[in-house]
Structure 1
């Protein structure tokens, strides 16, 4: 039994023969990319589908109930005993398939699921009468990067990426993994890298001048690893940002840039996020959301109060922090700190009414589940980032709008430290 209630193997939902498929994704870049991979595969088979982004409590109420419908949940759906609107126990529903973030990137699992569908429908044709083309390689790679990996963490994705590189659909190139062709714009708003100039276009322009290619990548790597807040993690994770895969046929410049935009829009602009993931445009709206998201995340880290505990690195967000970073984008704050600035394996970011969690190398699910369980709080988790929602007893009531009380957060930190 996993945190999702059932393993993928225990849920033989008949997706290949479904009359309709509901894709329920948690709001993060990995889950969004996974939904996009599955949506495109369903479209190629002319299977009607719907993609929905939402918090865990919302996803549980959106399970399809029609006789010929199947639901695929990309992330935890419900605890054992939770029911859909018609009273069916979600964990016992044979027409619900739950991909578990504790098992690896959701995108990797989605690509493997598409491989299963291809095997079950060998010779299937798309609307033009040609064989189905398989998962989009840029989207598949973007999802695994969004999940916190520099390269594919699943064999199915690694195969797709290798074939795409050989065919020129992914073009490994010198430079940095940004979504635009403007390095100043890309570096200022990226949440895949952190340096002294992050969040400030003027500072980026001064730092990089007119450099490009390998020289640009070298400057960025030096600034990121040499940043005053950087830890050894920054030297490891910079690999996901330099020498990126360009996407000649994609909506954005690089796969890493696509990962960053998917993460940003999943948290802040669901309509643009879904449109981008399923290949229905929305690029301009997605980039606007990405810029706003990047500015908020870097501003939050710039002003946060940091505390180091044994096993847990805590950031308490300043009252001047943008609202977005204290709420919907709090997992992005935690994720960026985990990738660049933490000396501990678990990051805990204290926001207005929630905590953002992120891990450096392992699944965050056991941490989120343990913290939430010990304190009776609702939670939701992806592969390496999670949110624990604080209840009314832990929210501040003073007129100065203080964050969660020190006592409550200290208790949660102690719970996190108590994990092996």
Structure 2
């Protein structure tokens, strides 16, 4: 079963195709927004007894002629449907299924979208005990652990639990945090993340980690923390991230992946050598994972880069992110043709490329600069 590919398939059209599918294959970009969207859709397909498979990998997968191939959060030509992760809730409703509010909200948070305009989703969230409160969006009850390993912010205490603990000790917090204590923690994190080497953009970027929605009955402490774990885990252990988005009990495994990801990416950002070009900030990192490089690039864009677009280059891989839709998938696809045996994937907002590790990073930068002219 196939239809003519069209970017950003409308929710009603997507649901009509999925409703008649005999098997659905969802190919997911390695981002928290995309894997959360796949989780929302997967739960809906499961409710409707439609067999499906979710893969967050670049590896090709053979498909039967009657399978429906869905690309979530990435641009592909060889698919039947191309879905923006932000549309997962609408597609699920078109299928006659109510989306899980915690996963849906985590996906919107990861996508940088406010859910406040969706009164139906917010009502469902309230019914599930999810509520807004002061403080910081972390996944764990241990604030020092949550702040140190958050990839929503980059601050002097990032990837250093002992430093985060010492910072919190200065606040003399009560054993049971009240609203005032949460506010003081949020204020301190905001100050730490926007001072020193931080760029003006950090003042806005840090807001993603503040004013969280608490999830007392969810797998993590807050919606933002859930989104952070999904985004980190899909880059470290895709199968675990998919299982988490589908509701399986993999909390501790996911948290381990989240901590590993934070340690590697914050350290890489601090140690990277940098270069600045017109509208492009480049970091050279000692990393080979496209997913880790994507997080480094995002953190640099939000907290360190004076330019709107950031390229993080490692050994055999690179990631390109920007402050807004900029056709990054097309740019890296074009750059790949200049780098020999290279391949690119992603969306207009974020894309990654893999290439022969023997290729010099200067050649990668030159290829990307050339296609951006």
| Common topology (TM > 0.5) | yes
* Corresponding position of 2:178: none
The alignment partner of 2:69 has SS state of strand
* Corresponding position of 2:267: 299
* Corresponding position of 2:135: 175
2-side partners of 1:330 and 1:160: how far apart? 36
How does 1:213-232 map onto structure 2 within 5 Å? 213-226=182-195, 228-232=196-200
1-side partners of 2:337 and 2:121: how far apart? 39
- Is 1:98 the counterpart of 2:62? The answer is no
* Corresponding position of 1:36: 39
Higher mean C-alpha displacement, 363-372 vs 30-39: 363-372
| 5+ residue gaps, structure 1 | 80-89, 100-105, 119-131, 397-403
TM-score, normalised relative to structure 1: 0.78
Give the alignment's Cα RMSD to 1 decimal. 2.5
1-side partners of 2:130 and 2:283: how far apart? 37
Deviation of 1:77 (Å): 6.0
The alignment partner of 1:232 has SS state of coil
Alpha-carbon distance change, 217 to 407 in structure 1, aligned in 2, over 3 angstroms: closer
C-alpha offsets along residues 152-198 of structure 1, whole Å, 9 cap, x if unaligned? 49x6xx34443235435421011111110111000111110011111
Deviation of 1:307 (Å): 1.3
1-side partners of 2:50 and 2:125: how far apart? 29
Deviation of 1:410 (Å): 3.8
- Is 1:187 the counterpart of 2:142? The answer is no
Deviation of 1:267 (Å): 0.8
Match of 1:337 among 286, 294, 300: 300
Alpha-carbon distance change, 142 to 195 in structure 1, aligned in 2, over 3 angstroms: same
- Is 1:411 the counterpart of 2:366? The answer is yes
* Corresponding position of 1:71: 69
- Is 1:135 the counterpart of 2:99? The answer is yes
* Corresponding position of 1:114: 92
Deviation of 1:8 (Å): 4.0
| 5+ residue gaps, structure 2 | 174-180
1-side partners of 2:121 and 2:302: how far apart? 23
How does 1:272-283 map onto structure 2 within 5 Å? 272-283=240-251
Alpha-carbon distance change, 30 to 290 in structure 1, aligned in 2, over 3 angstroms: same
C-alpha offsets along residues 299-354 of structure 1, whole Å, 9 cap, x if unaligned? 1011001111110000011xxx4x56x54411111111122221111100011001
1-side partners of 2:264 and 2:148: how far apart? 11
C-alpha offsets along residues 1-23 of structure 1, whole Å, 9 cap, x if unaligned? xxx96324497662112232222
The alignment partner of 1:265 has SS state of helix
2-side partners of 1:371 and 1:112: how far apart? 35
2-side partners of 1:378 and 1:340: how far apart? 28
1-side partners of 2:88 and 2:337: how far apart? 28
Deviation of 1:224 (Å): 0.5
Alpha-carbon distance change, 142 to 76 in structure 1, aligned in 2, over 3 angstroms: same
How does 1:6-85 map onto structure 2 within 5 Å? 6-9=6-9, 14-55=17-58, 58-59=59-60, 61-62=61-62, 64-65=63-64, 67=66, 69-76=67-74, 78-79=76-77
1-side partners of 2:270 and 2:94: how far apart? 45
Q: Is the 8 A contact 1:29 1:264 kept in 2?
A: yes
1-side partners of 2:109 and 2:47: how far apart? 25
- Is 1:379 the counterpart of 2:344? The answer is yes
The alignment partner of 1:252 has SS state of coil
Q: Is the 8 A contact 1:334 1:385 kept in 2?
A: no
TM-score, normalised relative to structure 2: 0.87
The size of the alignment, in residue pairs, is: 356
C-alpha offsets along residues 54-100 of structure 1, whole Å, 9 cap, x if unaligned? 11xx24x34x3153x32222144644xxxxxxxxxx36xxxx2122x
